[in-house]
Structure 1
Amino acid sequence: MKNIKCIAVWGVVASIAFLAGCSTQKESFEEQRKFVSLAGPWHTDLGIIHLPGSVDQSGLPPRNADTLTTTRLTRLHPYVGVMEYVREVDIPGSLGDKMIRLVMERTKPSTVWVDGDSVGRCNTLLSSQIYDLSKWLTPGKHELKIRIDNRDEAVPSGVHGSHAWTEATQTNWNGVIGRLGLEISEKNFIEQVQVVPDVEQKRAVLHVSLVSGKQQSAVITVEGYAWNATRKDFIRKQEFPVELVKGRSETELVVNMGEEPLLWSEFSPALYKLNVELLTDEGADNQLVDFGMKSFGVKGTQFTINGKTTFLRGKHDGCVFPLTGYPSTEVTDWLEQFRIAQRYGINHIRFHSWTPPVAAFKAADIAGVYLQPELPFWGTMDAKNTSLNQCLLHEGEQLLKEYGNSPSFTMMALGNELNGDINLMRRLVNHFRSMDNRHLYSFGSNNNLGTAGEQAGEDFFVTCRVGRDTDSTYATHVRSSFSFADAWKGGILNGTYPSTRWNYAKAISNSSIPVVSHENGQFQVYPDYKEINKYTGVLYPYNYEVFRRRLADNHLEKQALEFHRATAAWSALCYKADIEMCMRTPGMGGFQLLDLIDYPGQGSALVGLMDVFWKNKGGMSEDTFAGFCNKVVPMAEFKAYCWSNEEEFQARLIVANYDEADLKELPLRWKLETVTGKVVAKGEQVISVKQGAVESPGEIRVALKQITQTAKMRLALQVGTYKNAYDLWIYPATKVEEPAELLQVKELSATVLKKLNEGANILYFPQKKQTDSISVGGLVTPDYWNYAMFKGISEWAHKEVSPGTMSLLVNPGHALFKHFPTDTHTNWQWWEVIRNSRAIILDALPAGYLPVIQVIDNVERNHKLGLVFEFRVGKGKLVVCSSNVSDYQDKPEGRAFYQALMDYVVSDACNPQWQVTPDEIKNFFQTKKKEKQIIEVRNITDYNI
């Protein structure tokens, strides 16, 4: 082929050899194999495309004309099909007797040709594809052609919905990423080395696979050193004679690690580098292997690391890479992400139906993060589906071989939310465990949505519930939020009066293995449209632009940033409540958040504390978040967030200690203070808490009668450097009194409208039957995951549909809140008010009209919603409250809100600026609002539960 750039292999090899030989580091080894990079331009039918990379990045496919998709980010130059990449290589004569292998770190199903002769095919998705080209790449010039197929028919259909293939996040790209080139070694070489650490015996057992051209005697030497550690440690050189056979052979070597080997864990991620060298009369070959001396196991219902109990503070990873559309293969990129996650207190990452590149494992090894990779599957297991089952078997075997030495690789699952043949799942897990027992195994994450419970053969159980729900008490739940299709009223946080007493002890008592809470949170945050400018790569957020236009259509575009800030703050507080339920549960294994960052697919689920670029949204600082998500967490258990000043505030102190050692004789300090920092009460007690325990070392009691004015308070706790805090509200124990000049009504009769027109002060509480067609229900927590998806699922399952709202938006300085202190967003004192409300749709009102208490709607509808709003009608004042205050007068915050409402209506501060006629008000409440069409979002999970 003309004009195809040729690689001068020999020149590159010589340069690599020279650089390796110049190393002056005492603690270093030379790679004896040579690697010739094939990075650069490749010829395709579209034109020149640079690899590593994707076709999308080339910009050669036509520009995507679809600018209306809202379910995910949009590929600007998508390509799906077969693409052939061609270039020439020049093999010098000196390499005629060498082993030459083509290495593609990550790609899609491929076929390779040399000079038009087919070499073979490979369908591996989650680990390297390697082709032996020794037979074909003889000295001289050769045409190398690689065909990559990213069509759906290239893989079993069961793979399509996984994050290894889906368009939802990483995109179904075509190309090759990561390491791409020719690996050159001797004919006698080490195929792989698997290191099995034995912490108890202070040794490492090496399983070495060897390839030889003939039967012969040889020697393997092993030496090494510790790195990523504060203390130096060396593994003395040890020699092992071996007998090679023609072809492949296996040998087992036992390496003494010394009297005090360094151990790897989240606390001290010490790593060892081994130089394993094969010496024969024909030459030498070596492999450099990083590993950690660690023992990650199970004791009862909890995990252990080197004998210490650990708690998995995890997050979900959905393969979100908005600039490239595919995962990074650079260690620095992954290390940056893991370091950010660690600052939020995270020590564990679960990869939803995919496995990241080797760079992620290397970064996690360095950072000390526990990883759970998964096979590329999300769906139903069926023994008859042989093509899928063979695919999963192959993917699992290959990823165990490629990533198994990484100490961060601690757990593995067969996929996400599987159902179907349990025996097939068990056979697969048993096979993988027999192949590699260094890791813990699960049949899948949240299989059968937890309803089937723990299964024999699993080492751990990732789930949202332990067994089927039999009532609305949430007794089987191990996370606090659900869709309305999955749990009554969306779970504990929205369905029960807020307190800090909930934990999951009852649910996990039904499991004999560690329970890890699955995909906690999923609290929506309104988009920050400034984020659009960050998309400078292959993906573009047309979904954001559609959402922004909807907002503008309803004249709310000026409030977009306020919506974002309010929902970000409220979402973060809900994550706090959710995480603490896990942290204060003795014997629990851990949790896996969804998520610290947004998930831009499956209907655009913007559920993160950070955006997809790992930048904090401003809802909560990482330090505050780490106060309740950490190795040590001081907590307070109390009955309510709202108190009357005639009560004595009581709280049970709880400390979760998952640090490396016992807490011994440390002061636990607490203080109750105002938002301005004035201390009302404080105390200190010396505590001791065993490692791995959740204990209650004492309690707090404070008489609240000294607080005579309504106040928002802060309860702050500290143990050592670990801090945590809670918002509390204290209300005077006064009787509710109705002002004489106020008229309260439940319907706008002709008589009421006449009085209003003549100058009456009216507080109107519209009833549900009057507002059903012009309102949405009361939802305290932010809408779960994505309104479009779970609206359709709920309707299909004949379940209640979530109201779909996300937070209140208020001005704390408004006169209404003079005696009912509030943030700009929802907080726990609003629970009763919201749950007993229906937000009125105000779309028909003028563009500039805004309610006193606004309810933020989801991006699918973008309604203007009001919980409290006001008008001037003739000479009178009308304040509408769509919350049934009579339903919560047994609560101090309920009485305070009711009193604040009444006092406000008759005050001079209530001065509505919008003048309407009696007929206009009457028509407003009688006119059914136009429903907005919501396009259903598909979910793979089987909801027949």
Structure 2
Amino acid sequence: MKTSRIILLIIIPLLFFLFSKVSAQKQNRIYLSGEWQFSLDSAAIGIKNKWYLKNFSETVILPGTTDENKKGNKNTIFTTAHLSRIYTYSGAAWYKKEIYIPEFFSNKHVTLFLERTKETNVWIDSLFIGSSRSILTPQIFQLPPNLKPGKHTLTIMVNNDQQAFPQETKGSHAWTEHTQTNWNGIIGKIYIEAKPINHITDIQISPNYQKKRISAKVKIFSTHNEKAKISLHAETWNTKNKHNAKKQTYPITLHKGINNIELSYYLGKDALSWSEFDPELYRLTAILSTGTEQDTSITNFGLREFKTNKNQFTINGIKTFLRGKHDACVFPLTGYPATEAEEWRKIFKIVKSYGINHYRFHTWTPPEAAFEAADIEGIYLQPELPIWGSVNTGNEPLLSYIKETSQEILKSYGNHPSFVMMALGNELSGDSIVIAHIVENLQQQDSRILYSSGSNNFLGNKGRIGKEDFFVTCRTRQSTDSTYARNVRASFSFADEFDGGYINGMYPSTRRTYTQALSGCTVPIIGHETGQFQILPDFKEINKYTGILRPANLEIFKQRLAQNNLLKQIEDLHFASGKFAAICYREDIEMALRTPEFGGFQILDLQDFPGQGTALVGLLDAFMESKGIIEPFEFSQFCNRVVPLALFDKYCWNNDEVFLSTIKISNYAEKTVGKQTINAYLSNDSGDTIAKQQWYTLLQNGKLNHIGEFEVSLKSVKKSTNLTLSISIEGTPYQNKYKIWVYPKRNILQKQNITICRKIDKQMFNLLKEGRKILLLPDSKEIEKVSVGGMFSPDYWNFSMFKSISESLNRTVSPGTLSILTDPSHPLFLDFPTESHSNWQWWSILKNSRPIILNNLKNYIPLVQVIDNIERNHKLGLIFEFQMGKGKLLICSCNLDNIMDKPEGSQLYNSILEYMDSPHFSPHVQISEPELFNLFNSEIKNTEIKGVKNITSYE
């Protein structure tokens, strides 16, 4: 029995080996995934000591990384700056595998294919094959033509220490620990391929949508001069609308060496086109016949024409609006991007459900799987070079790298119809003439796509650079005023714009547009990194981190909340800050949609960014999973091909006014829609209709359609209420809703049993001792040291980064708050309707407030709490109450006197007085005179906040 087992142990591997040889003879690729020998080379001595000749005792699995194989240094340093790798390593690492070259590879052109890795050096046995520093495209190495069949040793040294790369690449998302991590390894496909000696080395396809044909630039290698022929055949493969183009054969004459041949191939008058609406793809089969040999090359393409028409983009002649998402390569399980098309299709299907049709890859270019998936799903892609810094004449290493990398990207991915745009990098500075020259060279080199000089170069202050085809920016020109007239997004950091931009800096209205900023610009403008509204974390996400990254940042934040006794509120804090962020994202997006002839936006972000100090700005978490804040259907009501829009002056009204709204519909559907019925309803919170109107009109494609005016007298509203304006296109899923607040017009109530005090003094304490009701409205200057500034919009990006930037530039630091948190059912709000979170009726209230720090009141929850950012982590009170002896005290840290001209201001004042005059005013928490005095006079202990360095200068 024992002997039989031994024989089986010998025979089974032998059969497997023989079977592998037979299988290899039936294919032209040998895949190399599996176990490899491995060794770290932290001292960088491997090349000098000829490690390609030695065996290694350790092993790893490829494709994979050192992190996944638990190689490197066990991490002991954890930070809130980004997710933390469990194993870290930077430097050279060696990978070695025994390979078998079959007989039928003899007299073939044999190459090694590495889909994605870092800087490499490659050896076969003792022979050096070559090196590469292509980190965003496949690395392909030609093996020796005289390589004998049989066993050989393949050795690859991968180096991720970045020394061979220009300084300006090192902060990009192609490398950084803040997103995909600076991994070491090889991911994606790894194989050796054999092709005939005379073979097709490359095909570049340029579609001509108007003429229903393609130009195929075919590169062929030939060993000698000879006559040959090449055939082209295209057929659709991913659509029910089948189309099989007629096969064409072209006689050609080959010369020894590389031949560049351009062929024109007619697809037929019924050829199908590719777009976001119908992403129909062709598969082109090219067969080269030379003597007795044939070589086949298969390439996918789409018949499409992505161009510009003045200030807008067109797809196949139809105007489109780019509803874009920023992508920073956040893959929290692996630390590197997915290389399977199905994974990317899953991602793109999620974003499409939210109305997104465009992706901008911030300073990186994804693997081919992303392009394949975007081709199928109909997503317009803007990859970028990994450049973030200054581009200047004389910097030859950088300029050479830009030229080299851009050519590699165009060659590798240019046939994909989803690849419609490219930018040189993010927020570039330096010499604009040099930058413009690079773009012009690219335009001449490859006209299949549109080019930008970079995303938000010079922070928009220099305007459009050279002849770039489109302009991605946060502003369109330099200006010194505070009207925001140059801006093309609604939110900014305080370091970059007065009072943080439109949403925080101007009284709310839905009539604002970016029209002034578009003045004088003749190419499409895309709003750069729209949004960036912070949301407190959902700590249940911590359990999702089962891969190579540890969410130490979230763990640290959780500890901080617990120390300040806020952890018990985290679900409510998370939800309130999230709901309000969604409201602000909506306003940012709608402001773009209601701007005639605007190009689009790139939102930052639908997904959390767990780096750069931890920017939890996503409505989805880092895993692209819902936070339960807003569902796709609700989001797509204001982010879609067709969006009904209501334009009105303000959100808060008195009942002696007439509500006037202009109804418009943004239509970027595939075509002009025939006459449609549009309905508008104004209803109360019980669902009763107060007013309605109907229009029957044509909805033209590619424009903001004016529908009509909706005018409603508010006299019938007798009590404070929240009304909903609903707009829908009958028989379609397109609808949108707006909340407005209506209050009875009246003067401030006079309550004889309530005393209003402006400061804490003996008189106030004596009144409380007498059992009086006191409304304390403290002077903002007197509470400055125990409070934070008033702010409406959620803090931008993250507090730590822009606090340090603002301080370094001697500019105002953002107040840093996120939203209110309150109980809408509390009696205080009987005449002041509210949700648990901020909404537009709170704008003037919060802007004129100084929320008071209540950290010492461990278990106390104010009536209106203000949510602080995760870094500073204060417990903040806007409205709160105490029992003091026989007296009752309510404190409001909003300067109500400043907002009496606003309907919401006078109404809140009256609601506070009515609440205090009612039996409901019965504070449960007792406070003493010393405790109250200390609350307003004690020194506040602030957490030390270390800023995260940003590459971009905001000077």
Q: TM-score range by the shorter chain?
A: over 0.9
| Equivalent residue letter for 2:514 | Y
Do the aligned partners of residues 433 and 14 (structure 1) sit closer, same or farther apart at CA in structure 2, a change above 3 Å counting? Answer: farther
For the structure 1 residues 242 and 6, does the alpha-carbon distance in structure 2 shift closer, same or farther, using more than 3 Å as the test? farther
Equivalent of 1:15, from 23, 28, 45? Answer: 23
Contact kept? 2:239, 2:280, Cα under 8 Å: yes
Match of 1:263 among 264, 273, 288: 273
Deviation at 1:8, TM superposition (A): 8.9
Counterpart of 1:831, as a letter, is: W
Q: Return closer, same or farther for 1:458/1:10 CA change in 2, 3 Å cut-off.
A: farther
Instruction: Report if the CA contact (8 A) 2:440-2:468 is conserved.
Output: no
Contact 1:6 1:88 in 2 (8 A): no
Give the corresponding residue for 2:198: 188
1:38 is aligned to 2:46: no
Report how far residue 252 of structure 1 moved.
Answer: 0.5
Q: CA deviation at 1:620?
A: 1.4
The one of 924, 931, 936 equivalent to 2:935 is 924
Indicate if the aligned counterparts of 2:580 and 2:837 stay in contact, CA closer than 8 A. yes
Task: Please name the residue that 1:507 is paired with.
Answer: 517
1:728 is aligned, of 731, 740, 743, to: 740
Q: Distance in 2 between matches of 1:222 and 1:9?
A: 38
Instruction: Out of 481-490 and 130-139, give the one that drifted further.
Output: 130-139
Displacement after TM superposition at 1:12 (Å): 4.8
User: 1:152 Cα shift?
Assistant: 2.7
Q: What corresponds to 1:741 in structure 2? A: 753
- In the TM superposition, 1:188-267 aligns within 5 A as 188-267=198-277
| Distance change in 2, residues 1:303/1:785 (3 Å) | same
3-state SS of 1:148 partner:
strand
Identical-residue share of aligned pairs (%): 45
Q: What is the alpha-carbon distance in structure 2 between the residues aligned to residue 306 and residue 639 of structure 1?
A: 37
Q: Secondary structure at the match of 2:813?
A: coil
1:868 to 864, 873, 879: 879
The structure-2 alpha-carbon separation of the partners of 1:566 and 1:537, relative to structure 1 and needing over 3 Å to count, comes to same
Return the alpha-carbon distance in structure 1 between the equivalents of residues 673 and 283 of structure 2.
34
User: Residues of 1 paired with 2:919 and 2:416: CA distance?
Assistant: 69
Paired residues of 1:466 and 1:510 also in contact (CA < 8 A): no
Q: Does 1:334 align with 2:344?
A: yes
- By how many angstroms is 1:9 displaced? 9.3
Do structure 1's residue 856 and structure 2's residue 864 form an aligned pair?
Answer: no
Aligned to 1:755: 767
How many angstroms apart in 2 are the aligned matches of 1:6 and 1:188?
A: 35
Aligned-pair CA distance for 1:62: 3.6
Name the aligned partner's letter for residue 749 of structure 1: D
Shift of residue 117, structure 1, vs aligned partner = 1.6
Q: Where does residue 100 of structure 2 map in the other structure?
A: 90
- Please state whether the residue corresponding to 2:558 is helix, strand or coil: helix
> How big is the shift at 1:16?
7.0
**Scaled by the length of structure 2, what TM-score is found?**
0.95
TM-superposed deviation, 1:10: 8.5
Name 1:624's counterpart in structure 2. 634
Q: Which string of whole-angstrom CA distances, capped at 9 and with x for unpartnered residues, describes residues 422-449 of structure 1?
A: 1221222222222211000010000000
Displacement of 1:11: 5.1
Aligned to 1:441: 451
Aligned to 1:613, the other structure's residue is in SS state: coil
Alignment pair present for 1:650 and 2:660: yes
- Counterpart Cα distance in 2 of 1:165 and 1:484: 28
Alpha-carbon displacement from aligned partner over 1:247-282 (angstroms, at most 9, x marks no partner):
111001010110121010011011100101111114
User: 1:185–1:10: structure 2 CA closer, same or farther, 3 Å change rule?
Assistant: farther
**In structure 2, C-alpha distance between the alignment counterparts of 1:430 and 1:128, rounded to whole Å:** 26
Give the conservation status (yes or no) of the 8 Å contact 1:114–1:136. no
CA distance in structure 2 between the partners assigned to 1:582 and 1:14 by the alignment: 61
* Counterparts of 1:382 and 1:238, CA distance in 2: 48
Counterpart residue type for residue 225 of structure 2: Q
Between 885-894 and 458-467, the greater mean CA deviation after superposition: 885-894
Aligned amino acid, residue 877 of structure 1:
K
Query: In the TM superposition, what are the counterparts of 1:383-394 in structure 2 within 5 Å?
Result: 383-394=393-404
C-alpha change, 1:716 and 1:136, in structure 2 (3 Å) is farther
Give the letter aligned to residue 590 of structure 2. E
Residue pairs, 1:37-436, within 5 angstroms: 37-45=31-39, 47-67=58-78, 69-135=79-145, 137-436=147-446
* 2:909 aligned residue (892, 898, 913): 898
Alignment gaps of 5+ in structure 1:
19-32
2:889 to 865, 878, 882: 878
CA distance in 1: counterparts of 2:162 and 2:272, whole angstroms: 47
Structure 2 distance, partners of 1:383, 1:109, is 26
Summarize the Cα distance change of 1:804–1:657 in structure 2 as closer, same or farther, 3 Å threshold: same
Counterpart of 1:394 in 2: which secondary structure?
helix
Corresponding position of 2:539: 529
Q: How many residues align?
A: 925
Aligned partners of 1:212 and 1:246 also within 8 Å = yes
Q: Does 1:583 align with 2:593?
A: yes
Determine helix, strand or coil for the equivalent of 1:929.
coil
Q: CA deviation at 1:244?
A: 1.3
Displacement, 1:646? Answer: 1.0
Partner of 2:841: 829
Aligned equivalent of 2:3: none
Q: CA deviation at 1:136?
A: 6.1
Give the match for residue 800 of structure 1.
Answer: 812
Instruction: Mark the CA change 1:937 to 1:136 in structure 2 (over 3 Å): closer, same or farther.
Output: farther
- Let me know the Cα RMSD of the aligned residues: 1.6
**Residue 504 (structure 2) pairs with residue 494 (structure 1):** yes
Q: CA deviation at 1:96?
A: 1.5
Asked whether the 8 Å contact 2:673–2:699 carries over to 1, the reply is: yes
CA drift at 1:672: 1.2
1:546 aligns with 2:540: no
Match for residue 816 of structure 1 among 823, 828, 849: 828
* Match of residue 55 from structure 2: none
Segment drifting more, 309-318 vs 227-236? 227-236
Any stretches of 5+ residues in structure 2 without a counterpart?
1-12, 41-57
Deviations along 1:334-383, one digit per CA (max 9) or x if unpaired, are: 01111111111110000000000000000000001100000001111022
1:556 equivalent in alignment to 2:566: yes
> CA-to-partner distance for each residue in 1:791-817, whole Å, 9 max, x for gaps?
011111111100001110000011111
- Residue number in structure 2 paired with 1:472: 482
Compare 162-171 and 667-676 and name the one that shifted more. 667-676
CA distance in 1, matches of 2:362, 2:640: 23
In structure 2, C-alpha distance between the alignment counterparts of 1:296 and 1:10, rounded to whole Å: 51
Aligned mates of 1:604, 1:880 — CA distance in 2: 34
- Could you tell me whether the CA contact under 8 Å between 1:9 and 1:90 is conserved in 2? no
**Cα distance per residue 1:210-242 (max 9 Å; x no partner):** 111222111101112112223111111110111
